[in-house]
Homo-oligomer: A and B are copies of this chain.
Amino acid sequence: MSLAFTIAELTSLTGAKSVEGACLAPITGIAALAEATPGDLSFLGNAKYAEAVAASKAGAILVPVTFEGEPAAGQAFLRVDNPSYALALLCSVLESRLWPRPAPGIHASAIVAASAKVDPAAHVGPLCVIAEGAMVSAGTVLEARCHVGAHASVGSDCWLKPGVTVGDYCILGARCRIQSGAVIGSDGFGYEPVNGEIQRIPQIGNVVLEDDVEVGANSTLDRARFSKTVVGRGTKIDNLVQVAHNVRIGRQCLITAQVGIAGSTTLGDHCVLGGQSGVAGHLTLGDRVKLGAQTGLFEDVPADGFMNGTPAVPFGLERRLVVLSRRLPELFKKVDSLAASLDSAKSQTT
């Protein structure tokens, strides 16, 4: 960050009820209590870290109104109702200052097809390509080196970071946020054997991101074989995630990093997929299904299911199996000892 705040500004931005002490230098960063330096603002977000306040070198600390303690020399306490909420308020303000919305207009170096429609209230950054028939709506920001393919459409108030590729015919709803290197609309991986050679099946569908979808850096979403691959409203996809052709992800899902979802699988709403988990093709997951990290799922899961392990089983069973499998050395010994004991019992009785 390259911003500097006085205590007075911070007081105003966080809605602090009162200030104690004073810090000498402007505040130029935010850090955890243990790591903060005199130029940092810190915060007591959880009562269990209360002791860390006294040891903190932060120039300013957001503390609850009821916090018992006093600032060190050269340190300011900003007393607020809820330090976490106050911090979030501040971060939102900081974000809007660190990333001011670029002015509308098309950079001179961008290549925009004559048949493309770019709303005058959109921003198209340097070296972007807007192909024929494509549409970019009002309030949308395309940072540098973005690609909007032929007949693709980017809705209003989206923000595409540098180097995003939106494939031909793909559709983004309003307020989508796409990180660098993400590819929306690569070809689906569809092949069939023909006389011992692998032949490509045309992939002529598209990808549709509904409103408020976010996609992480270098994630890949394949276009449908025909029809569409869909990501439902409000769903957030992390980095390096693979969404195969014809997948349908519901609304308000969280798909964490490096997850893979194979072709034609359907997810309900509010699903949460842990990092590096994988879902096989042609499955149906109900609403609110959860998968633990690295899970490999090969079967349908009804609503509210929580699966774990590879191949996945219900979470409780998986936890039990893990515990028991770690007791295998003990079990093998016990069985050996039972066998010996039985042998000796037999020899005694004969």
Contacts and interface: CB of A to CB of B under 8 A. Distances in A.
From A145, A167, A220, name the one whose CB has the most chain B CB atoms within 10 angstroms.
Answer: A220
Contact of A240 (B220, B280, B348): B220
Chain A at the B interface: mostly helix, strand, loop or mixed? loop
Interface in A17-76: 29-32, 35
A227 B189 contact: no
Interface string A299-313: 000000000011101
Given A2-B169, A145-B129, A177 B198 contact: no
Range, interface on chain A:
35 or more
A126 interface: yes
Contacts of A168: 98-99
A331 B212 CA distance: 50
B239 A220 contact: yes
A76 to B, nearest CB: 18
Contacts of A103: none
B186 A179 contact: yes
Contact of A239 (B189, B201, B205, B254): B189
Contacts of A180: 147, 165, 167, 183, 186
A131 interface: yes
B257 A260 contact: yes
Interface of A: 1-2, 29-32, 35, 88, 91-92, 94-95, 98-99, 107, 109, 111, 125-127, 129, 131, 133, 144-145, 147, 149, 151, 161-163, 165, 167-169, 177, 179-181, 183, 186-187, 189, 191, 196-198, 200-206, 212, 214, 216-220, 222, 225-227, 234-236, 238-240, 242, 244, 252, 254, 256-258, 260, 262, 275-276, 278, 280, 293-294, 296, 298, 309-311, 313, 317, 320-322, 324-329, 331-332, 334-335, 338-339, 341-342, 345-346, 348-349
